Amino acid sequence: MPLSTQQIEQFNQDGYLILRHMAPTEQCERMLAVTAEHLRKAIAPLEYEAEVGYEGAPQSLDAAGGLTVRRLRRAYERDDCFRDWARDTELVTMLTQLFGEPVCLSLAHHNCVMTKHPDFGSATGWHRDIRYWSFTRPDLISVWLGLGDETADNGGLKFLPGSHRMHISRDRMDDLDFLRPEVAENQRLFEQAVSPELHQGDVVLFHSGLFHAAGRNNSARVKASVVFAYHGASNPPVAGSKSAAGGSLLPGERIPDNPK
């Protein structure tokens, strides 16, 4: 089913849209099984909590919990189950509606399974995904698929609705472009935060300019979410940037076997 006019308006207004039961159980279970196997075998490329260095993360790879994985990078290259999801016809149709043009999948950004572990999984401050991305226009869409339940208690996402349309002055952000929690104006904004619960197969589409954050995982189970980023065909990455180096694909396209 394509998006309704109301859903498109909601996305444009709030900067995010939740699509319930979009990925069937079997598909999610397959992605969970591959995720568990790749975690168990520590299949590279991985990002460790210790490398991110956020509050609550282990101090180093040698510290207790130092090998806690935050992301299985390059999900698209890992297994057909992730490729099939990234190119899902219904998903691509919806993204095409939101962009109003053909869509491309960025291999440079997200393209991962986010894993948030109990104990050593760290919280993420309020940020916009676009902060480190370089595209002609700052209009990308992140697609977040919950492979299990996501709540405020296990580190689920929180959003500031409409914040993709707000101008936020530099002095309200720290050196890493997180909203500074001690700034009164930011505190008033945080009062508007929403933390939608997700269940297995639910998807959130969110604009790359939308402020979002996530807490720690206080549950006993690892939370896993598959995340890809898309841009419109008329909005290529800036030449020479990391965004360009990582490459993009039309969702119908496959990575060549022997890329030059």
Binding region for ligand AKG (CB under 6 A): 114, 116, 124, 129, 155, 212, 214
- Nearer of residues 201 and 215 to ligand AKG, judged by Cβ: 215
- Nearer of residues 83 and 216 to ligand AKG, judged by Cβ: 216
- Closest approach, Cβ 1 to ligand AKG, in A, equals 27
Q: Determine how many CB atoms are found less than 10 A away from the CB of residue 155.
A: 24
Longest dimension (CA), the chain: 53
- Closest approach, Cβ 138 to ligand AKG, in A, equals 15
Residue (of 138, 143, 159, 30) closest to 90 by Cα position: 143
Q: Is 161 exposed, middle or buried (0-12, 13-18, 19+ CB in 10 A)?
A: middle
- Nearer of residues 97 and 132 to ligand AKG, judged by Cβ: 132
Non-local CB neighbours of 217 within 8 Å, separated by 6+ positions: 116, 117, 118, 121, 154, 155, 223
Residue with tokens 């959130």: 204
- Nearer of residues 3 and 130 to ligand AKG, judged by Cβ: 130
- Nearer of residues 15 and 155 to ligand AKG, judged by Cβ: 155
Task: Report how far apart, in Å, the C-alpha atoms of 23 and of each of 119, 132, 167, 179 are.
Answer: 29, 29, 34, 33
Residue (of 34, 73, 64, 71) closest to 49 by Cα position: 71
- Closest approach, Cβ 112 to ligand AKG, in A, equals 8
Can you say whether the dihedral through the CA atoms of 151, 190, 98, 237 is positive or negative? negative
The structure tokens listed for 145 are: 């698929």
DSSP 29-67: HHHHHHHHHHHHTTPSSEEEHHHH--TTS-SSTTSTTTT
- Closest approach, Cβ 152 to ligand AKG, in A, equals 12
- Closest approach, Cβ 142 to ligand AKG, in A, equals 7
- Nearer of residues 3 and 110 to ligand AKG, judged by Cβ: 110
- Closest approach, Cβ 226 to ligand AKG, in A, equals 12
- Closest approach, Cβ 257 to ligand AKG, in A, equals 30
- Under DSSP, the state recorded for 12 is H
Collapsed DSSP state (helix, strand, coil) of residue 171: helix
- Nearer of residues 87 and 212 to ligand AKG, judged by Cβ: 212
